[in-house]
Amino acid sequence: MGHMAAAPDEFTPDHDEVKFPPVPSKYDAVEVPNIINAPAAKRHCTRAARHDQRGPRNAIILSLDAAMRGECRRRLYVHPIAWTPYHLELLGVHFRFAKIPPSRQGSGDAQVRLYKKEAKDDLKGEIVCRLHVQGVWTAKTRGQMMISINFDAISKTRHKWVHGGKQRASQNYGAGFVVRLKKEKALQPTIACKGPYICSLLIALAQAHRRSSPEAPGWKVLLLAVGGVGALQLYCYQSWVPAALLQKLDEPSTAVACPDVVIRISTISLATPQDAVRRIWEMLHKDELV
């Protein structure tokens, strides 16, 4: 895992990338899942240690480094676009479907207001890891942020990551091409709406929130996603990311006790535009984005 942070010089809709630069603070050392782009671990761990890391009630709390040494045969030091369900298991993150309450009457006339985030000099810094999204939205008053993405874009990003540059991607023949196809198929999530990359985006969003409220015990994050062009359903991801999880990523060699993180997935039908707008507005209002 690497440093996932957000914000080029300015937040605007339909950005192709979300960049989360480090900020001068006690968190400078590592700002994101340190499983990314790190040197491969050479030491081995016993089966007992690997077993202790799994399960909801561990007798022993292992650091991320120790847990990954115990799984040295797995390729865990990868970009978030190549995360697998095991990365979520390692971080204690779970997806869970939830229902959005019925829409309240009288909210249809409300306008959804989205603002550009003002550029801040103290957010400039080296970018360790770049995460591709369709848009980053920020509320003008409270600074709450939301990310939008679509599953087709995630698949295309994963395809580019596996096949490399244009010259290599154009070589659609030979043993190497077959190996890359198998690798891409293995990384494709069984259920698109539960893709591990979505988890990495929510973690990056929590890290961005931490800059404005570093002493908070955790941060509420929101992400909206659709399947692609012509989609009839909007997926809403809401979660509470505890500070302990970010500390665990900042200090991979330290054993940090962290509660499991549940990402709640709810859906909004886009078949009736007027009703869909009302429900989306109510959800954004609840999360103080409007």
Q: Computed from CA positions of residues 2, 6, 10, 14, in that sequence, does the dihedral angle turn out positive or negative?
A: positive
Q: Computed from CA positions of residues 151, 152, 157, 159, in that sequence, does the dihedral angle turn out positive or negative?
A: positive
pLDDT tens profile 35-88: 444 443 333 333 334 444 444 444 478 888 888 888 877 878 888 898 999 999
Residue showing tokens 């120790």? 66
- pLDDT score of 266: 92
Phi, psi angle pair for 47, to nearest 5°: -65, -30
Are the beta carbons of 249 and 33 closer than 8 angstroms? yes
Are the beta carbons of 22 and 5 closer than 8 angstroms? yes
- Residue spans of beta strands (DSSP E) within 100-197: 130-131, 135-138, 145-150
Residue showing tokens 């409270």? 142
Phi, psi angle pair for 145, to nearest 5°: -125, 155
CB atoms within 10 A of CB 284: 22
Choose between 254 and 114: higher pLDDT: 254
Indicate the pLDDT class of residue 195, thresholds 50, 70 and 90. Answer: very high
| Phi-psi group of 81: left, alpha or beta (phi > 0 → left; psi -120 to 50 → alpha; rest → beta) | alpha
- pLDDT score of 246: 93
- Mean pLDDT lowest for which of 9-13, 83-87, 223-227? 9-13
| Torsion angle in degrees (nearest 10) through CA of 13, 17, 23, 26 | 120
* C-alpha to C-alpha distance for 141 and 290, rounded to whole angstroms: 9
- pLDDT score of 43: 36
Choose between 47 and 5: higher pLDDT: 5
Give the end-to-end CA distance of the chain in Å, rounded to a whole number: 32
* C-alpha to C-alpha distance for 129 and 244, rounded to whole angstroms: 21
